[in-house]
Structure 1
Amino acid sequence: MSPTPRRFPPLRRVLGRWRGPGVVLAALGLVLSLLSIGPASARADLRATDKAGAVSSPRSANAPVRVAEFVAECPFTHRLPDDPIVFPGLPGASHMHSFFGNDSTNARTDLAALQRGRTSCSPTVDLSSYWTPTLYDNGKEVEPTGTTFYYLGEGVRDDVIATIKPLPLGLRIVAGNAKATGVGDPTSIARWSCLHHGEVNPSKDFVNCPAGSMLESYLDFPQCWNGKDLDSPDHKSHMAYPVGGQCPATHPVAVPKLRQVLRYPVSGDPSRFTLASGAGYTMHGDFFNAWPEDEMARRVRDCINVIVKCGADGRP
């Protein structure tokens, strides 16, 4: 609906009882200035009118940011050559892993053990376990000092975001490939970059970060679930990545996308760096979901479905 034109009083009423050329000229200038305000400038100056004709207030500076997100900050807890997803019940069967979140995780971990454990995460309700291959700098272990796990709606269309379901309790997901053969290997989804240095192109392998920067690792987990299995024999088949902004028919249930962002306090010559699994392109991540169901559901409803950016407390 177009804004209602402004109506102004007759010039003689504006002039009223005042007399004198100076007053008349000043009043005339005021009226001409008001008449020069067109619809465009009026819209910029007035409250907006929506399509139904209802008047809405200008956006508040405190309005929620339109990003579908909630987060967990989960510092490093311990290292073990264990992997309760790939090598359950077999201590020492894996390469070295760095664990984040639940401090009880080992080769024999199951959901009940996680629910009895403690966590390094903020929020403390997140009892999930997250782990990656350990990073080495000239053979010395290096643990990240920035450990953020984002739960996102991005990757699918807005109408699909509105239908995203909570991650099921006990779901296990593996992202990336510990046996990737090179940067051209399509099964490698590693991404390395430098904190605050966008001029350094990201790569699937380690990059050379300027002094004072930090080496960053980004890893996106699949966000389409088959709707029935909490794991699969290859630990991947029950999950899939979206195609064309929606989940494939084989994996119809959209869930939040987990993005793992780790920042390591190292920089410089990348030839010094290795992962316990090998080169940078073998970066991978494991996730064992132990969020309380009501907390996960609330965050999905209040942050993801409505496309609102929330913090660690699950609130805008």
Structure 2
Amino acid sequence: MGRNTRKRRTPLATKIVAGAAALAVGGGGLVWANFYASAHEEHPGQNRTRSAGAQVATIDCPDVGQKIRDVPDRARGEVDGELASMDSQITDAYQRLATTRRAQEGDARFVENSILGPLKERRKALIDRIQLEINRAGGKADDNLDELAGCQGRPADQQQNGDGQNGDGQDQDDNGNGVAGPVADDFIDINDVQPNSRNSRNGLAADGDGGSTGTFTTDCGVNENNLFNSDNLIAAPGVDNGAHHTHDYVGNQDNDAFSSDEDLANADTSCQNQGDKSTYYWPVLRLQDGTQEFDANDQGGGAEGNIGKILKPAQAELRFVGSQQGDVVAMPKFLRIITGDAKSFTNGDANANTSWSCSGFEDRQVTDKYPLCPEGSQVLRTTNFQSCWDGQNIDSANHRDHMAFVQEDGGCPNGFQAIPQLQVRLAYDIPTPTVENGQVRNPYAVDSFPEQLHKPITDHNDFINVMDEDLMNEVVDCINRGEDCQ
């Protein structure tokens, strides 16, 4: 498989992280088999601690980006760059956490003094710069952002035996493949999921019996052109490896961190309807089976714990639907929408919008587990995007405030208007992992920021509207007339 080859700029913070990751890479993945030992373990055969369950498994930092409001347009590029550098700082600190276990054994204050303390100071320096950039551009920065500088260590969730091992003697969180997660507790037999039990305030479907009942389906393939990168044009424009995990792309074929709106408008598209040059992207799923992918030693890939065979969807259904309360209006060109939260494991589920299921069991949806599907059943990832727009902005400082989910009655909040709701349904042919004695063999997992440990709740989806005006009007008319079009 390949990736974008455009010449790429790499900020200093990313270069520092790359150097740190190079020390922590072995066989294409972050050295996680030595999670409970330092990188200089004197006795490799004795790399488990007696009290590993009490040790810090990952780093939990307040998400500064979600707290920022009212950033002047001319400062947004700089602010997004600082936030991306903050993500790189967390990655750097996490990799140090994962490779200093021996030192942590001998010093109860090691994590605080050598990892979390320095991280807080580095984060505070970036927060100060963010405040300065906002104020210089004529805005008014929140004086309390400094309170978000400190991070905390988060212990492992799963219980272990007293000798630091799981029941079968394997390292917890390792699965024998050298990376952190997923773990056995991240999986659930779909038969054990109660029908209609998913409880999430997000991801409500906008379509219903009333209002605008039509649909418009666009066929953009399943990334047959092998367009992959670890950028995030929406959240981290201009930053190489801004996502720290690899994305699948369908639709627009010129989508990386440095793509301008003009680039997007002039690009080729994988969509059958050539008027749809929109960008649709999501983190790849991987089967952790030992496959050395094209990015096995790269940032965003194996160097940050995203290892194994990339699984393309067998089917990617992209459908736009209407509103239960009335007609929809056209989306503005270059509207950006992020749904879900790549940091939900540490941020909490306020912005989580994950729906995992199996074909044939679609009344059973789960947010925080990967489903174990019976033979012949496909793994499904379904996302219902926000479909209420503020009527003015194509983006916002935290990339969320210009959009909203429909309310329980299917209508939009005051000040917002209904636009066609994008619904993405991805179906995968994945061999069912085996879970025995607290271990999962050959698991599949969503790519994630390293410190998010491949948790299923971190799944997310991204969209930039680049439909031409005629096609967008066709989509709106079709939905408002109650027809099914493509």
**TM value normalised by structure 1:** 0.71
2:283 aligns with one of 117, 133, 142: 133
Distance change in 2, residues 1:133/1:198 (3 Å)? closer
CA drift at 1:183: 12
1-structure distance, mates of 2:410, 2:356: 25
Structure 2 residue aligned with 1:73: 219
Distance change in 2, residues 1:198/1:233 (3 Å)? closer
Is 1:98 the counterpart of 2:255? The answer is: no
CA drift at 1:198: 4.4
Q: Deviations over 1:230-275 (max 9, x none)?
A: 0011111100011122111132x21000001111121412850211
Q: Deviations over 1:201-233 (max 9, x none)?
A: 321121011122211110011010001110011
Moved more, 220-229 or 266-275: 266-275
CA contact (8 A) 2:379 2:428 kept: yes
2-structure distance, mates of 1:67, 1:288: 23
Is 1:203 the counterpart of 2:366? The answer is: yes
CA contact (8 A) 2:213 2:480 kept: no
Structure 1 residue aligned with 2:451: none
2-structure distance, mates of 1:110, 1:223: 24
Is 1:274 the counterpart of 2:445? The answer is: yes
2-structure distance, mates of 1:112, 1:183: 34
Structure 2 residue aligned with 1:228: 392
Structure 2 residue aligned with 1:288: 464
2-structure distance, mates of 1:82, 1:182: 21
SS at match of 2:338: strand
- Unmatched 5+ stretches in structure 1: 1-65
Structure 1 residue aligned with 2:419: 255
CA contact (8 A) 1:222 1:241 kept: yes
Alignment of 1:76-87 (within 5 A): 76=223, 77=225, 78-87=227-236
What is the root-mean-square deviation of aligned Cα atoms in Å?
Answer: 2.0
CA contact (8 A) 2:379 2:430 kept: yes
Give the letter aligned to residue 99 of structure 1. Answer: Y
- Unmatched 5+ stretches in structure 2: 1-211, 289-307, 435-439, 449-453
Is 1:245 the counterpart of 2:410? The answer is: yes
2-structure distance, mates of 1:256, 1:198: 23
1-structure distance, mates of 2:386, 2:483: 21
Alignment of 1:184-203 (within 5 A): 185-198=349-362, 201-203=364-366
2-structure distance, mates of 1:73, 1:133: 19
Structure 1 residue aligned with 2:58: none
Is 1:114 the counterpart of 2:269? The answer is: no
Structure 1 residue aligned with 2:99: none
Give the aligned length.
238
Alignment of 1:210-221 (within 5 A): 210-221=374-385
**TM value normalised by structure 2:** 0.47
Distance change in 2, residues 1:108/1:184 (3 Å)? closer
CA drift at 1:110: 2.3
Distance change in 2, residues 1:206/1:182 (3 Å)? farther
1-structure distance, mates of 2:386, 2:400: 9
Identity of aligned residues (%): 30
CA contact (8 A) 1:171 1:231 kept: yes
Moved more, 277-286 or 175-184: 175-184
SS at match of 2:256: coil
Give the letter aligned to residue 329 of structure 2. Answer: K
Structure with more helix by fraction:
2
Distance change in 2, residues 1:265/1:182 (3 Å)? farther
Give the letter aligned to residue 254 of structure 2. Answer: S
CA contact (8 A) 2:355 2:381 kept: yes
Is 1:89 the counterpart of 2:238? The answer is: yes
2-structure distance, mates of 1:212, 1:92: 36
Give the letter aligned to residue 318 of structure 2. Answer: F
